Amino acid sequence: MSIVAVILAADHGQGFPTPKYLSPLRGSTLLDAVVADAMSWPVDEVMVVLGADAQDVEAGAILSGVSVLVDPEWAEGTASPIRASLDLLSRDRGVSHVILARGDQPGVGSDVIDRIVATAKAEPVDAVVPKYRYALGWPVAVARSLWDVFLGLEGAMDVHDLIATHASSTQEVWFDHLSPAVIAGVDDLPSARR
């Protein structure tokens, strides 16, 4: 059974002068940094889901070695890019889990994913969720047993609430450090904090 990392990079982002995922970050772009992280994770495939500014992002990011999926319904909300990726992956019976990762959260090391993947493989649970110093975070592992719930959702959704509500079994993996920062707005970029 294989595990696919799904990097969710479909949202528009507010306040960014250029497409959010092409924002400069440490000599690269935001999406390039996240993809570089994901390429070191213990997964069998990395998929990036684009939406807003998809053509520009695909042309401006380094996406060699990853699958790219463009979600035409991205503006509907957070459920849509997850649905699009799971719909595609559900056709491959060999995929047992997805690692849902944020395209705006660079710095997730392979050590974090190693523990999440090891737990997902060892425990027969619907989801594995990291807990960074008592706060739930990302990325999350979602087993095939929970995909139908995600496929039936629309609009905006909170993945952690969905897992808490619908998963019959969840395993938390505790980390003694803070979660890697999310670049939700332009002020979260390191260059904006100088």
> What's residue 192's pLDDT?
53
pLDDT of residue 116 exceeding 70: yes
- Calpha distance 103→9 (Å, rounded): 5
Kindly tell me the burial class for residue 163, based on how many C-beta atoms sit within 10 Å of its own C-beta (0-12, 13-18, 19 or more): buried
Residue 161: how many CB atoms within 10 A of its CB?
10
> What's residue 100's pLDDT?
98
0.85 exceeded by pTM? yes
What are the pLDDT digits (tens) for 19-41?
A: 999 999 989 999 999 999 999 99
Number of domains in the chain: 1
Structure tokens at 171: 């395993």
Q: Which domain holds residue 55?
A: 2-193
Helix, strand, coil percentages (3-state) for the chain, rounded to 5, are 35, 25, 35
Chain-centre distance for alpha carbon 37: 12
Return phi, psi of residue 163, to 5°: -65, -45
Q: Which of 45, 93, 33, 96 is nearest to 69 (CA)?
A: 45
Report the CATH number at residue 154: 3.90.550.10
